[in-house]
């Protein structure tokens, strides 16, 4: 079994600047990592700047290599039980290298390059990344026994560090590669309705997949003990960016971990890093210690590894305010590593997420509602969704996912046919390929026949709840109308479907004297369609987006009622504040771990230490009777078993806790030490 499957993963990334090598002490470097309880370190080695004495002509050598060498650093880390992953960045070359090989560069449609601070963007299709990068890696791993590789900024980059968008690459290599792939010229512009643009997106995905496969094969040919990003582990970031990412997404770490882990069948390690700095222009400052703590606890609660990333070295960092917090959490994980091994989520809800790096507003709204209602759930990315066993889940959520591949749509239809339940907000359709004809294809299980039109200016519209519908929506006893938000889809549906709520169309919103409407249309807010043994709920609007952007409870009530009253889902902590997060997982022996993260310290744009929560009650469905229930944080837990439910009461939740529930038939002697 490879080392990353056997050894604990607590990673520190020191993103070394060139000058950090000038007086670097390998002894101090390794000692600092030991002080953090790190088991893995990620550091700069090759690409933009070679951190060793390279002999290759186009591999720019760091001019400050006067401190201890990478060879000595790796040797001392290994002697201290720390694995070392090399960071390489082949996305850019120095200006002088570009001038010798201009064909390696990214090109705009006008033939310009993307350049910043003397570094020129390269293209994935060009020979620098396709050929020369492998010469660099052959030299690197031939000289230094790194344990893994991480490639930064891979893929088809279109923006620089100031987020200026240069469009997609038009270099000769891209044009030739796309022509070989499709027989076509590059699309004229980004246009989701253009079949050529869609084929170009498929081309990008194909090139990335092929490149990853090629590099993985190359590394495994050197040694099966070299781990590679996106094959053996997946590196992703929980970060802030002052220029584009406000307000903060407080479930960033949790959602990242869930999306990477998916249904858990890949076995990949999710190394979701807590990025130290507040933004690219603030590389040497740190976000608040409380935010780092929240991210790291969220990682653990959602089965991710611990990962902390800063610019520079630990011994010379200009902002060390979060160090003690990070050390404390790493030390806690070290103490209880055995408990966190081989865990899998027991969630019965699966949320599809379009993109690995960014959750959409609609997805964020559903993530918030599920988290705040304490209904455990998993997230999954499209490629994994195509292979997932959906029958494991009671409910699948499609949060305005747009166009699905035919294969994925067929799997969802089969899932519903056999008794599954789908909640679908917004538009969820089957992708039309150029060779196919006919109108928009909706999933058979949805009961949706046609999209008549869409209204993206619907903010003053409402959904009217009639008295006889109040029983189906108990959260709305005092609410008769719900805001639609800015989008409504006018659909035609199968007459066998049942509908709820009716659309009150646009109405004047000023002056106050004219703010009313006398019309109520038959277009619904919820369509309930039975397909085979299952059900498909369509919301032809975007409640998740509205909640994510505004945070108001009237929308939450509709969403929660659909989850609980219509789909029969049950909260595991019905009385717990929505500001705490709860996850439930089990290990190979069937023992349960309930993790709680107190997010109450998130206050606007600032993060403080969370307020403690007293008397936390939990309800976990199980037919098994525990032999012990203990808090890893030392809290007092009482429990009782009644009618297939385990009722637990934790005396106090500070920032985090984990309740270990052991059952008689499983668990090793080492595990029992926690009881």
Q: What is the pLDDT of residues 216-256, one digit of tens each?
A: 999 999 999 999 999 999 999 999 988 777 888 999 999 99
pLDDT at 435: 42
- Report the SS3 class of residue 433: coil
| Residue 675 scores a pLDDT above 60 | no
Q: What is the pLDDT of residues 415-444, one digit of tens each?
A: 999 999 999 999 999 876 544 444 558 999
- Please state, for a pLDDT cut of 90, what percent of the chain lies above it: 85
pLDDT at 105: 96
| Residue 670 scores a pLDDT above 90 | no
Query: Do residues 544 and 361 make contact, with C-beta atoms less than 8 angstroms apart?
Result: yes
| Residue 407 scores a pLDDT above 60 | yes
Q: What is the pLDDT of residues 581-597, one digit of tens each?
A: 999 999 999 999 999 99
Q: What is the pLDDT of residues 624-640, one digit of tens each?
A: 999 999 999 999 999 99
Of 13-17, 330-334, 354-358, 372-376, the poorest mean pLDDT is in 354-358
This model's pTM is above 0.85? yes
d(CA 304, CA 5): 14
d(CA 491, CA 488): 9
| Residue 512 scores a pLDDT above 90 | no
Phi-psi category of residue 177: left, alpha or beta, with phi > 0 → left and psi -120 to 50 → alpha? alpha
pLDDT at 665: 66
CA dist 507 → 354, 462, 463, 504, 514 (Å): 34, 9, 12, 8, 9
Q: Name the nearest CA neighbour of 32 among 88, 82, 92, 90.
A: 82
| Residue 497 scores a pLDDT above 70 | yes
At which residue do the structure tokens 């590099």 appear? 215
């Amino acid at each position: 079994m490879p080392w990353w499957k056997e050894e604990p993963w607590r990673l520190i990334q020191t993103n070394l600047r060139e000058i950090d090598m000038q007086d670097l002490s390998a002894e101090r470097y390794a000692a600092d990592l030991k002080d953090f309880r790190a088991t893995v370190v990620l550091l700069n080695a090759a690409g933009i700047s070679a951190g060793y004495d390279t002999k290759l002509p186009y591999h720019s050598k760091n001019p400050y290599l006067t401190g201890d060498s990478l060879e000595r650093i790796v040797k001392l880390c290994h002697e201290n039980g720390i694995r070392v992953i090399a960071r390489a960045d082949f996305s850019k070359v120095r200006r002088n290298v570009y001038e010798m090989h201009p064909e390696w560069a990214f090109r705009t449609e006008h033939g310009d390059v993307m350049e910043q601070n003397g570094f020129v963007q390269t293209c994935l299709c060009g020979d620098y990344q396709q050929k020369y990068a492998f010469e660099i890696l052959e030299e690197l791993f031939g000289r230094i026994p790194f344990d893994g590789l991480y490639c930064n900024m891979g893929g088809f980059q279109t923006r620089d560090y100031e987020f200026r968008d240069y469009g997609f690459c038009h270099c000769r290599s891209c044009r030739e590669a796309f022509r070989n792939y499709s027989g076509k010229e590059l699309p004229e512009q980004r246009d989701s309705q253009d079949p050529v643009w869609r084929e170009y997106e498929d081309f990008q995905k194909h090139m990335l997949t092929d490149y990853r496969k090629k590099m993985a094969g190359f590394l495994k040919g050197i040694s099966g003990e070299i781990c590679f990003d996106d094959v053996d582990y997946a590196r992703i970031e929980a970060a802030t960016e002052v220029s584009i990412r406000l307000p903060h997404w407080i479930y960033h770490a949790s959602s990242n971990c869930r999306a990477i882990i998916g249904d858990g069948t890949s076995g990949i390690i999710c190394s979701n890093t807590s990025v130290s700095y507040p933004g690219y222009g603030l590389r040497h400052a740190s976000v608040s210690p409380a935010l780092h703590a929240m991210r790291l606890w969220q990682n653990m609660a959602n089965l991710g590894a611990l990962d902390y990333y800063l610019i520079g070295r630990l011994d010379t960092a200009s902002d060390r305010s979060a160090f003690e917090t990070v050390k404390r959490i790493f030390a806690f994980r070290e103490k209880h590593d055995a408990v966190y091994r081989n865990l899998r989520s027991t969630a019965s809800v699966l949320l599809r997420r379009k993109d690995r790096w960014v959750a959409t507003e609609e997805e964020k709204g559903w993530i918030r509602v599920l988290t705040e209602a304490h209904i455990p759930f998993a997230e999954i990315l499209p490629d994994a969704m195509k292979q997932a066993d959906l029958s494991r889940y009671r409910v699948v959520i499609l949060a305005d996912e747009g166009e699905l591949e035919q294969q994925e749509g067929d799997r969802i239809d089969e899932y519903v046919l056999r008794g599954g339940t789908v909640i679908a907000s917004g538009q969820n359709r089957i992708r039309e390929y150029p060779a196919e004809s006919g109108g928009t294809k909706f999933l058979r299980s949805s009961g949706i026949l046609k999209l008549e039109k869409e209204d993206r200016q619907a903010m003053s519209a409402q959904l009217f709840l009639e008295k006889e519908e109040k029983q189906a929506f108990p959260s709305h006893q005092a609410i008769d109308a719900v805001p639609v938000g800015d989008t409504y889809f006018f659909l035609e549906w199968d007459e066998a479907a049942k509908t709820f709520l009716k659309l009150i169309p646009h109405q004047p919103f000023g002056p106050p004297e004219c703010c009313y409407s006398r019309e109520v249309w038959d277009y619904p807010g919820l369509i309930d369609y039975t397909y085979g043994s299952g059900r498909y709920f369509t919301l032809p609007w975007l409640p998740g987006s509205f909640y994510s952007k505004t945070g108001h409870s009237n929308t939450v009530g509709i969403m929660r009622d659909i989850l609980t009253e219509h789909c029969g889902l049950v909260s595991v902590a019905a009385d717990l504040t929505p500001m705490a997060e709860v996850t439930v997982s089990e290990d190979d022996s069937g023992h349960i771990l309930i993790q709680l993260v107190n997010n109450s310290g998130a206050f606007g744009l600032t993060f403080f230490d969370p307020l403690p929560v007293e008397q936390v009650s939990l309800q976990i469905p199980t037919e098994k009777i525990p032999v012990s229930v203990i808090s890893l944080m030392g809290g007092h837990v009482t429990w009782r078993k009644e009618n297939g439910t385990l009722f637990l009461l934790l005396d106090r939740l500070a920032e985090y806790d984990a309740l270990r529930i052991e059952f008689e038939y499983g668990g090793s002697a080492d595990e029992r030490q926690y009881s």
